[in-house]
Amino acid sequence: MKTILLTISIFLSFLTIVYADSPTTGNSEDLRLYMLDCGSVTVHDMASFSDTGAYPHESMQLSTPCFLIKDPKGWLLWDLGMGDQYLGHTVEDKKHDVSITVKKSLIQQLKSLGLSPKDIKFVGLSHTHFDHMGNVSLFPNAIWLIEKSEYAYTKQTPLASSLDATEVAMLQHDHKILLKGDYDVFGDGKVEILSTPGHTPGHTSLEVHLPHTGVVILSGDLYHTRKAYELKLIPPFNTDRAQTQASMAKIDAILKDSNGRLVIEHDTDDIKALPQFPNYLN
C-alpha cells in the first residue's frame, strides 16, 4: 500500500512540474523583456544627427542593443545590433564615420538562457540600417517581421548608404511577413509592432504590455538620444521629415495614454537604466 501511495505521489508531483514548465499555459505573467548587449558605436561627429544644428561637432557613444521578448507563444528578438563578427576588437568604419565595439556575443547571451538561434520564432527589425542588422545571418529559421515599405527600401538602386548590401540580401531568402501598418505579433494585444516611418520608409517601434511594468516602447531610431526626444530633433538623413514628426506624435500619444516607459535604443543612459541581462522587465 505504501508503495502504491508513493507511486501516486511521485506521479502527481511530475504532473505539477510538467504543468509549471509548459510553454502552452498562456499565462501573461510569463511575458518578459530582456535587453541584450549587442555592442555600441561611437559616432565621431554628432552634428550630422540634427537638421537644425542642435548638436555640437562632438563624438558620442551610442548603444546598439538587441531585445528579447519571452512570450508563452514563442521568443521574439527585436533588432540585431552590430554583429558577433566584431567581437573583441574595435573596428573603424570609415564609410559611416563610426567606431564599432562588441564586447558580448549575442549567441552566448542566448545560450545562457538555454536558447540557440533556432529557438527564436520571430525577428523584428525597427529598420534595416547596418547597426540594427549585424546578426542577420544567425537566424535562417526565424520568421522575419518587416514593414513592406522597408523591404522595398532594401531593393532600391543605388542602396542607401546606411544599408549593408550583404545584410539586406539575407532578407530575400528568409521566411518573412511583410507588414502594412501596426501588427499584433502574438494576437493578444500584448506585443505590437507600431508603424513609425520617417527615419526610413518602413521604420517601426515595438510596444510591449508587461504584466508588472506596464507599457514599454522600444523606439528604434525614432530618436537617437534623450536630447533628441526632448527637442524633437530630426537627422537630415531621415527619409521623410513630416512622417518623422507624425511618428513622434503617435508615440507621444501612446505614452501619455498608457503612462508608458520610452526606451531610446541608442541612448546609453536609457539602456543602463534597464535591468542588466540576464535580469529582465516583466
Cβ-based nearer residue to Zn ion, 32 or 195: 195
Closest distance to Zn ion from the beta carbon of 33 (Å): 19
Q: Which residues contact 73 (CB under 8 A, 6 or more apart)?
A: 26, 121, 186, 187
Beta bridge partners of 207: 192, 217
Looking at the Cβ atoms of 130 and 186, the one nearer to Zn ion is: 130
Of 61 and 141, the one with the shorter C-beta distance to Zn ion is 61
3-state secondary structure at position 136: helix
Query: Nearer Cβ to Zn ion, position 138 or 228?
Result: 228
Strands of the chain (E only): list them: 32-36, 40-43, 60-63, 66-71, 74-80, 91-93, 98-101, 120-124, 143-147, 175-179, 183-184, 191-195, 204-210, 214-218, 261-263
Shortest CB 130 distance to Zn ion, Å: 8
**Strand-pair partners of 42:** 61, 99
Q: Which three cell numbers stand for residue 257?
A: 495614454
Using left for φ > 0, alpha for ψ between -120 and 50, and beta otherwise, residue 32 falls in beta
CB of 133 to Zn ion, least distance (A): 10
Closest CB 266 distance from Zn ion, rounded Å: 6
Query: Which lies closer to Zn ion via its Cβ, residue 131 or residue 267?
Result: 131
Residues lying near Zn ion in the complex (CB under 5 A) are found at: 131, 221
d(CA 239, CA 261): 26
| Pairwise CA distance, residues 198 & 241, whole Å | 6
Residue with smaller CB distance to Zn ion, 134 or 260? 134
Minimum CB distance to Zn ion, residue 85 (Å): 18
Inter-residue contact 272 to 89 (CB < 8 Å): no
Residue 13 CB, shortest distance to Zn ion, in Å, is 49
The nearest distance, CB 199 to Zn ion, in angstroms, is 8
- Determine if the peptide bond prior to 140 is cis (ω within 30°): no
Nearer to Zn ion, 95 or 175 (CB): 95
CA nearest neighbour of 72 among 113, 21, 146, 139: 21
Ramachandran angles phi, psi of 261, nearest 5°: -105, 125
